[in-house]
Each structure stands twice: as structure tokens, then as C-alpha cells.
Amino acid sequence: MPAAHPKEFRDDVVAVARRREAPIAQLAKDFGISESCLRNWLR
């Protein structure tokens, strides 16, 4: 299992995703995380 991402990183990624300036798939790719990981963080 990969190491957990720091809370600051998670918070930053979620903030960007909530602005809805790009598709979830693109954001996940840009930040180097899986799409499912990002979707879980948004919940």
C-alpha cells in the first residue's frame, strides 16, 4: 500500500477540484494520484 499523502496536499487538491476548473480525471493525473483516490477525498 502506498504511503498516505500529507494532509496539506490533500486539502490543496480537494480545494482545486471543488473549483471545477478541470475534469476530475485531469486533476488526478496532474497531481499524480488516482481518479478513485481523488473521488474518495472529495467525499
pLDDT of 3 higher than 90: no
Task: Check residue 4 and give its pLDDT.
Answer: 87
In the chain, where does DSSP find H-type helix? 7-18, 24-31, 35-42
Closest CA to 17 of 33, 5, 1: 33
Over residues 2-31, mean pLDDT:
94
Residue 1, pLDDT score? 67
Q: What is the percentage of the chain residues whose pLDDT exceeds 70?
A: 95
Q: What is the dihedral of CA 22, 28, 8, 19, to 10 degrees?
A: 20
Residue 33 DSSP code: -
Taking all residues of the chain, what is their mean pLDDT, rounded to a whole number?
A: 94
pTM, two decimals, is 0.85
